Amino acid sequence: MSEKVLNLLMDSFTKILIPGIKVTIPLTVISFSLAMVIAVLTAMVQYANIQGLKQLARFYIWIIRGTPVLVQLYIVFYGLPSVGIMLDPFPAAVAVFSINEGAYCAETMRAAIESVPVGQLEAGYCVGMSWWQIMRRIVLPQAFRTAFPPLSNSAIALVKDTSLAANITVAEMFMTTQRIAARTYEFLPLYCEVALIYLIFSTVLTKLQRAGEKRLNAHGFN
Amino acid sequence: MLEVKNIKKSFGDLQVLKGVDVRVEKGDVVAVLGPSGSGKTTLLRCMNFLEKADEGILNFDGEEYDFRTIGRKDIAKIRKKTAFVFQNYNLFRNKTALENVTEGLIVARKMPKAKAKEIAMAALEKVGLSDRSSHYPHELSGGQQQRVAIARAIATNPEIIYFDEPTSALDPELIGEVLSVMRQLANEGMTMMVVTHEINFAKNVSSRVIFMEDGEILENAPSKEFFENPKEERTKAFIKSIAEQHTI
């Protein structure tokens, strides 16, 4: 590797990392948090068998899982302005990623909630607790433990999927790399470099998952 | 204290309860016997609204309720005066033994934490598990889990405890510890209704025996009379078959 390329990589590392910290990470954290809210609500209306809302939940999951996230980004950012809905790139990306991720996590949460033996719900009723009290204190804590590994999977996938936001002009890590590469023509080293930074982010998340599981295991799970 | 009249329940085309009457007085220990599929568990579950009965009247503490029309509030009110012990214990897996017992006190009855803890410790002491209070269910044996479930039941100071085959899921050597706790409760005057296959419990602990078959009560008699002088042929055959099992 020539010294010139090496210097370029050293130079560009912080230039790529900064939008990573300023854009990619916030985009991931905000989208995933909203996705979890959507997921828990969507799973619970199905578990509680609330007619109307349950069908709406299935419809939402069907539409979102059945269409590519890239197309969803284009619809929201390039399509919606024609009906008067104009979003800035970052909020548009947050909206699409949280709604998209929410649909997948909703299914994870539904499976996890359903895996809690129904006998514990009955036991809760018999000691006088309400449905909501049982959900909050007994069922959801256990469901979150079960859902934790697959949810971590989704979070790791989301970190990398945020690179798609480059398509709607969000200046995140990948777009920044594309710009540097277009100027310098060093495509291979620069794209490998940004791949490495995604790998570092994912590795940190994997470590967090391990630590999280360990902590959760201390509370009644083997 | 508690009376159920003409309770009926079907699962699809199968009628599991064909109009059953039960009366329980304060201090009674009623054993419900009968072959599998006779409707004993369904009867118990309907009485605490874990299954919705199709028909029937419940008289509890002098108030009358129709099983078809009873509302959520009345169900909650009655459940706060009753307790239920399940075949599979159904402990809250994310709570310690102590928390399993305090949950119904703190959350459902809004009792101050310190007082709830005190009552829960006394209940665990009673079932011989005060040294296991900080253990999670998966760290306890089946017999211990069932005793925690009994502590959870008695902590709420219920007027009646329903037991649904409390020893059927246990290894044989663990059955004794659970039965002895139940016997102790009976001796202290706790009102209990126990669906069971433990013939000796029915014989020696319960005050009354109900024998069910095909969704109906065939015989309902004081325990002594039931075993020494059964009226129905079917009951005689059942007692005989169980006696034979025990001599093998």
The string of pLDDT tens digits covering residues A143-199 is 999 999 999 999 999 999 999 999 999 999 999 999 999 999 999 999 999 999 999
Chain B residues in contact with A145 by the CB 8 A cut-off are: 94
> In chain B, at which residue ranges do the beta strands (DSSP E only) sit?
2-11, 14-24, 29-33, 55-60, 63-66, 82-85, 160-164, 192-195, 208-213, 216-222
Residue A61 token pair? 């999951």
Q: Topology of domain A3-217, per CATH?
A: MetI-like fold (1.10.3720)
- Give B161's strand partners: B83, B192
Q: Collapsing DSSP states into helix, strand and coil, what is residue B20?
A: strand
As annotated, the residues of chain B forming the CATH 3.40.50.300 domain(s) are: 11-53+165-248
Query: For residue B238, what are the CA distances in angstroms to A149, A199, B44, B217?
Result: 52, 70, 21, 14
Chain A residues in contact with B135 by the CB 8 A cut-off are: none
Supply the pLDDT for residue A216. 85
The string of pLDDT tens digits covering residues A74-111 is 999 999 999 999 999 999 999 999 999 999 999 999 99
Distance in angstroms (rounded) separating the CA atoms of residues A11 and A26? 23
Distance in angstroms (rounded) separating the CA atoms of residues A164 and B56? 62
Q: What is the 3-state secondary structure (H, E, C) of B72-140?
A: HHHHHHHHCCEEEECCCCCCCCCCCHHHHHHHHHHHHCCCCHHHHHHHHHHHHHHCCCHHHCCCCHHHC
Distance in angstroms (rounded) separating the CA atoms of residues A202 and B110? 44
Is the pLDDT at A218 greater than 80? The verdict is: no
Is the pLDDT at A7 greater than 70? The verdict is: yes
* Beta carbons of B95 and A125 less than 8 Å apart: no
Mean pLDDT, chain A, integer: 95
Task: Calculate the dihedral angle through the C-alpha atoms of A80, A85, A89, A90, rounding to the nearest 10 degrees.
Answer: -120
Q: Which of B92, B96, B156 sits opposite A123 (nearest CB)?
A: B92
Q: Which of B49, B86, B94 sits opposite A123 (nearest CB)?
A: B86
Q: Where are the domains of chain A?
A: 3-217
H/E stretch holding A110 reads helix A89-114
CA-nearest residue to B152 within chain A is A127
Supply the pLDDT for residue B144. 96
Distance in angstroms (rounded) separating the CA atoms of residues A151 and A66? 20
Is the pLDDT at A222 greater than 60? The verdict is: no
- Amino acid in position A76: V
A–B: how many Cβ contacts below 8 A? 77
Q: B89, A217 in Cβ contact below 8 A?
A: no
Distance to chain A for B240, nearest Cα, Å: 34
- How many CB atoms within 10 Å of residue A37? 12
The string of pLDDT tens digits covering residues B134-147 is 999 999 999 999 99
Chain B residues in contact with A142 by the CB 8 A cut-off are: 93-94
Chain B residues in contact with A119 by the CB 8 A cut-off are: 86, 88, 90
Chain A residues in contact with B83 by the CB 8 A cut-off are: 126-127
* Beta carbons of A128 and B80 less than 8 Å apart: yes
* Beta carbons of A126 and B48 less than 8 Å apart: yes
The model's confidence at residue A70, banded by pLDDT at 50, 70 and 90, is very high
Residue B9 token pair? 């329940």
Give residue for tokens 């129904």.
Answer: A118
CATH number for the region B11-53+165-248 comes to: 3.40.50.300
Supply the pLDDT for residue B242. 79
> pTM of the full predicted structure?
0.89
* Strands of the sheet with B208-213, listed across from one edge: B82-85, B160-164, B192-195, B29-33, B208-213, B216-222
Interface of A with B (CB under 8 A): 117, 119-120, 122-130, 133, 137-138, 141-142, 145, 219-222
pLDDT in tens, chain B (248 residues): 899 999 999 999 999 999 999 999 999 999 999 988 899 999 999 999 999 999 999 999 999 999 999 999 999 999 999 999 999 999 999 999 999 999 999 999 999 999 999 999 999 999 999 999 999 999 999 999 999 999 999 999 999 999 999 999 999 899 999 999 999 999 999 999 999 989 889 999 999 999 999 999 999 999 999 998 888 888 888 888 877 776 66
The string of pLDDT tens digits covering residues A128-154 is 999 999 999 999 999 999 999 999 999
* Beta carbons of B94 and A220 less than 8 Å apart: yes
* Beta carbons of A119 and B103 less than 8 Å apart: no
